[in-house]
Amino acid sequence: MVAYPNILKYAFIALVAGILIIVAVSYQFNIKAFESSIIYESDTPSFGLQHGALRSDKIPFHSHSEEKPFGTYLQQTLEFKPFQGLFTAVNATAGVALQSRGEAHVTVVSPPEFDYVLKPAGVTIREIEAIAINANIQAARLKPVCLGRFNGSLPRPTSDLDEGVFMLYSLVVADDYGDLLSIRQQISRLYHEKGGEGALFQPEAFWPHVTIGYDRRDLFVEDGIYKGKNFCYARIHTEN
Ligand SMILES: *[C@@H]1O[C@H](CO)[C@@H](O)[C@H](O)[C@H]1NC(C)=O
Ligand SMILES: *[C@@H]1O[C@H](CO)[C@@H](O)[C@H](O)[C@H]1NC(C)=O
C-alpha cells in the first residue's frame, strides 16, 4: 500500500519524459524539414553575418511618409554597420560591382501597397505607423534564413530599362514569431473597416528580407521577384 503512490509517481515522470522526447524529436524534425526545403548548389559558399545584426530594439523608429509616389511605406529599421561586412564579402564574389543602399531595413508595407491599395481606401500612414509603434515594430524578432540571389532577366520587362540581366542579393529573414505579420494583419483589419477590397491587400503576401546589394536597381514583387526561401542561394552563419 505504501509503494503504490511511488509507482504512480514514476509512471507520471516516465510519461512526462516521453512527451518531452516526442516534442523535442518533432521540433528537430520540423527544423530539418524547413532547412531541407531550401535547395543549395553543392559548391555554395556560406557568408557570415555579425551577431545581433537583426536586433533593432535600441534603434529609433524611422518614418517614411513623403508626399511623392513611392515615398510612403513602413519599415523596421536596422543598423547598417553590422551588414557592411556581408556586403563586402558578397560584392567580392558577385563578379560585378554591386551598389549598397548604405542602410538596412525590412520593408513591412511596401510603397506600391500604400500608394495603390491602402491610401485609396483611406488608410493613412499615420494610422499605419500608430499600429506599428503600438506593436513595437523595432523589437520585432527576426532570424536569418539565407542569402538570396537573383541573377537573370526580368520575366515581364515593361520598358527598355528593364531589359538585360540584373544581379541582386538580399538577406532572407524569418518572422517566426509573427511580429511583423501581426502588424500587417492589423493594417488589413483597418483596411477592411474602411471598406477596402479584400482581394487587394493580403497580409501574408510578405517576404521579409534585407536588401544587401544590386548592380542596376533594387527589384520587387512588382518585377516578378519573390524573396522567400525560394530565393536562397547561400547559407548564412552568425559570427562575432
Ligand atoms: C550570372 O549569370 C550569368 C549568366 O546570365 C553568368 O555568366 C554569371 O556567371 C552569373 N554570375 C554569378 C556570380 O554566378
Ligand atoms: C565591389 O566589387 C568590385 C569588383 O567587382 C570593386 O571594384 C568595388 O570596389 C567593390 N565595392 C566595394 C564597395 O567594396
Separation of first and last alpha carbons in the chain: 59
Output the average pLDDT for the chain.
Answer: 92
Q: Which of 151, 154, 169, 214 to probe ligand 1 with, by most ligand atoms within 8 A of CB? A: 151
Report helix, strand and coil shares of the chain as percent, to nearest 5.
Answer: 40, 25, 35
| Index of the ligand 1 atom closest to the CA of residue 93 | 13
User: Which range, of 35-44, 82-91, 130-139, 144-153, averages the lowest pLDDT?
Assistant: 35-44
pLDDT at 10: 77
CA–CA separation, 236 vs 105, rounded Å?
18
What angle do the packed helices 125-134 and 179-193 form, to 10 degrees?
140
pLDDT at 8: 73
Question: Which residue's C-alpha comes closest to atom 9 of ligand 1?
Answer: 95
**7 touches ligand 2 (CB under 6 Å):** no
Question: How remote is the CA of residue 173 from the centroid of ligand 2, in Å?
Answer: 25
127-145: b (≥16 Cβ within 10 Å) or e: bbbebbeeeebbebbbebb
**95 touches ligand 1 (CB under 6 Å):** yes
CA–CA separation, 20 vs 161, rounded Å?
57
pLDDT at 14: 75
pLDDT at 240: 82
**165 touches ligand 1 (CB under 6 Å):** yes
Q: In the numeric block, which cell numbers belong to residue 47?
A: 557568408
Q: In the numeric block, which cell numbers belong to residue 121?
A: 481606401
**What is the amino acid identity at position 170?**
S
**86 touches ligand 2 (CB under 6 Å):** no
Mean local confidence (pLDDT), 9-24? 71
| Index of the ligand 1 atom closest to the CA of residue 167 | 1
**93 touches ligand 2 (CB under 6 Å):** no
User: Which range, of 38-52, 69-83, 99-113, averages the lowest pLDDT?
Assistant: 38-52
pTM of this structure: 0.86
Q: In the numeric block, which cell numbers belong to residue 69?
A: 509616389
Half-sphere exposure of 94 (CA within 13 A, CB side): 27
Give 190's contacts (C-beta < 8 A, 6+ positions apart).
123, 127, 131
Question: How far, in Å, are 6, 8, 134, 193 from residue 113 at the CA level?
Answer: 63, 59, 21, 17
Q: For 20-53, what is each residue's pLDDT tens digit?
A: 766 666 655 555 555 557 888 888 889 999 999 9
**88 touches ligand 2 (CB under 6 Å):** yes
| Index of the ligand 2 atom closest to the CA of residue 98 | 1
Q: For 147-198, what is each residue's pLDDT tens digit?
A: 999 999 999 999 999 999 999 999 999 999 999 999 999 999 999 999 999 9
CA 11 to chain centre: 45
